[in-house]
Structure 1
Amino acid sequence: MRADQILHPTDAGLYCPPGDFFIDPVRPVERALITHAHGDHARSGHGSVMATRETLEIMAIRYGEDFTATRQVADGEITVGDTRVSFHPAGHILGSAQIAITPTAGPKIVVSGDYCRRANPVCAPYEPVPCDIFVTEATFGLPVFKHPDPASEMARLLKSMAEFPDRHHLIGAYALGKAQRLIMLAREAGIEGPIAIHGALQRLCDYHIEQGIDLGELIPATAKDVPAQLVIAPPSAFASAWVQRFRDPVIGFASGWMQVRARARQRGVELPLVVSDHVDWPQVTQTIRELAPSEVWITHGTEDGLMRWCELHQIPARPLRLVGYEDEPE
């Protein structure tokens, strides 16, 4: 069986005919396998959903009564139609997974979803999975993207907090994954007191705590004079009246895109923190070298840059031109 008979792109997302399922479909389908719970990969409306336990539970939190799908926890190797599938840690957010597809005949395909090679204190580390075809993102798929050690970015945050002790530091971070990781990085950097969080982060932070991830003392960022210097909020909060309760705050943002200073200036970010939950250029190319697949498929991001790198290294590659996925939520 040819690779494109096992998995190919459609308007709804990646489809596996021998298993009759879609991976991270962008519209409702009968059977969906989900890599992780970010909204651009995990949508509601499917007939049935297979994912890790954490991903299913986070989807239930986020979608509530709209999450009516039949749910199956991915545990071990599972037979789906004429394929066997297994889920492996992706290192992206809590519950994130790569999906390995092994057909009865034909090449083994690993769909990595979004993945990260740096240590992440809120989720299991990325696990290399040998395969014939590796399906990778290319969010930061250009040589310019070489993300610094997150510890050095936390040192910059602490330096700013020490330099401006009377100013709240408002840091924008995506509600699922990035916010909790930022809290843990701040704890590892030595911040022991309370950290204030926007109400939109509360339930997801509570869930991480329920899973044994110690985020330390968190307080709501609702009081007129919030008694915590560090405040974390989703990016949308910075365009609302909520931000006006803080007098002369230091505005920060945590994202891999903060390496692009023009983006930071455009958003009025005084303290850009380059903290990403995706592979950067050295990590994505390292991963391809390490796995040594016979072919690389690229799902989204800067496809042309990675295509050219594969060509120069004589690795067959193809862009899948999938739409509906954000490069990195801001």
Structure 2
Amino acid sequence: MSAPAPLIPRPEGLYCPSGDFYIDPQRPVPRALITHAHGDHARAGHGAVMATRQTLDLMAIRYGEDFTASRQPAQGETQIGDARVSFHPAGHILGSAQIAVHTQGVRVTVSGDYARVANPSCAPFEPVPCDIFVTEATFGLPVFRHPDPATEIDKLLDSVARFPERAHLVGAYALGKAQRVIMLLRERGWTGPIYLHGAMLALCEYHIQQGVALGDLRPATTDQMRKADFAGQIILAPPSAFEATWAQRFPDPVICFASGWMAVRARARQRGVELPLVISDHVDWPDLTRTITELDPAQTWVTHGREDAVIRWCELQGRVAIPLHLAGFEDEAE
């Protein structure tokens, strides 16, 4: 009789029988290992959670201190039942990690969400040798080839210079994307204040506490400033804020949106985006296929995204690939 699979897709999430735990489960479970603190991977209500210390802190900020009955920071290799687990940087957001599971003589790396481009707001991706590599496929189509993020930020700064009478509102996910955009702005020479929607303040403050130099940040409120005072300024907010009256407090705003999906013009038009910024915290097609090639796993398991194209590419390369069909994951947190 063949040995059971080291990880099994279940309705709750990806399950490890030998360790009796789930990775990024979508429903409350007794024991969860979490790759990062985005809401489609990290949910409240589990009995016990193991994650990097930063992910645990971010979950507490987002969900409250009682988001789980028990927390365990990941430190080195840990034995859980008959499985050994370790956490390795994923390059996605602060605290993000790949989870390596060694069981039954098989090494599995669950990447969660990951990126291979430089991101000054988090630790870079670390290749982890494995027999089975579980990859996301958010941008798993050959058409997705993300530009240099510095050129996208230069577009924003050029627009600010050309339209000094207008405010520039940049839609960015509150955790990860916002801080990355801020760091990119600082790297490209923007030394002035950056104004933030209230939903971003606590998360940015935590990044600062962790040594991420975000510079001069201020709340985007009208308590101390008139509408005209925001002319020529950059304001960051969750994209949902643009659908409310909140955006009307700024002078003739240029609506921007930082997302890998801004490469799709139809999506930009649907959201009323005047200045799309193609900035993603996920691997694009070249980096996804490069990662599989470099790791050279015996099997590639593909999840949450364009599974079919990645499966087909692997087949053409003579590689074994399996779609997991896990539900509940967003294409890219917006």
Question: Which band: TM-score by shorter chain?
Answer: over 0.9
- Deviation of 1:299 (Å): 1.3
Summarize the Cα distance change of 1:80–1:143 in structure 2 as closer, same or farther, 3 Å threshold: same
Other-structure match for 1:121: 120
2: CA distance between counterparts of 1:3 and 1:139? 31
Q: Does 1:50 align with 2:54?
A: no
Deviations 1:24-54 (A, max 9, x none): 0000000000000000100000000000000
Other-structure match for 1:156: 155
2: CA distance between counterparts of 1:272 and 1:99? 33
Q: Give the TM-score taking structure 1 as reference length.
A: 0.98
Secondary structure of the 2:5 match is: helix
1: CA distance between counterparts of 2:76 and 2:244? 45
Q: Which of 283, 292, 295 is residue 296 of structure 2 equivalent to?
A: 292
Summarize the Cα distance change of 1:234–1:4 in structure 2 as closer, same or farther, 3 Å threshold: farther
- Deviation of 1:3 (Å): 7.5
2: CA distance between counterparts of 1:231 and 1:187? 14
Give matches, 1:55-74, under 5 Å: 55-74=55-74
1: CA distance between counterparts of 2:31 and 2:2? 22
Give 5+ residue unaligned stretches, structure 1: none
Percent of residue pairs identical: 69
1: CA distance between counterparts of 2:42 and 2:260? 22
Q: Does 1:28 align with 2:28?
A: yes
Q: Does 1:315 align with 2:314?
A: no
Other-structure match for 1:257: 261
Q: Give the TM-score taking structure 2 as reference length.
A: 0.97
Other-structure match for 1:304: 308
Question: For structure 1, which segment, 64-73 or 283-292, has the greater mean C-alpha deviation from structure 2 after superposition?
Answer: 64-73
Give matches, 1:136-215, under 5 Å: 136-215=135-214
Other-structure match for 1:232: 236
Summarize the Cα distance change of 1:2–1:109 in structure 2 as closer, same or farther, 3 Å threshold: farther
Deviations 1:165-200 (A, max 9, x none): 111000000000000000000000100010101011
- Deviation of 1:65 (Å): 4.6
- Deviation of 1:236 (Å): 1.1
Deviations 1:290-329 (A, max 9, x none): 0000000001100000010000001000100000010101
1: CA distance between counterparts of 2:184 and 2:288? 23
Q: Give the conservation status (yes or no) of the 8 Å contact 1:169–1:250.
A: yes
- Deviation of 1:68 (Å): 3.1
Q: Give the conservation status (yes or no) of the 8 Å contact 2:49–2:68.
A: no
Runs of 4+ in 1 over 4 A off after TM superposition: 1-4
- Deviation of 1:106 (Å): 2.9
Summarize the Cα distance change of 1:270–1:193 in structure 2 as closer, same or farther, 3 Å threshold: same
Q: Aligned letter for 2:67? A: F
Deviations 1:129-160 (A, max 9, x none): 00000000000000000000000101111111
2: CA distance between counterparts of 1:290 and 1:190? 35
2: CA distance between counterparts of 1:16 and 1:2? 16
Summarize the Cα distance change of 1:305–1:240 in structure 2 as closer, same or farther, 3 Å threshold: same
2: CA distance between counterparts of 1:2 and 1:94? 39
Other-structure match for 1:134: 133
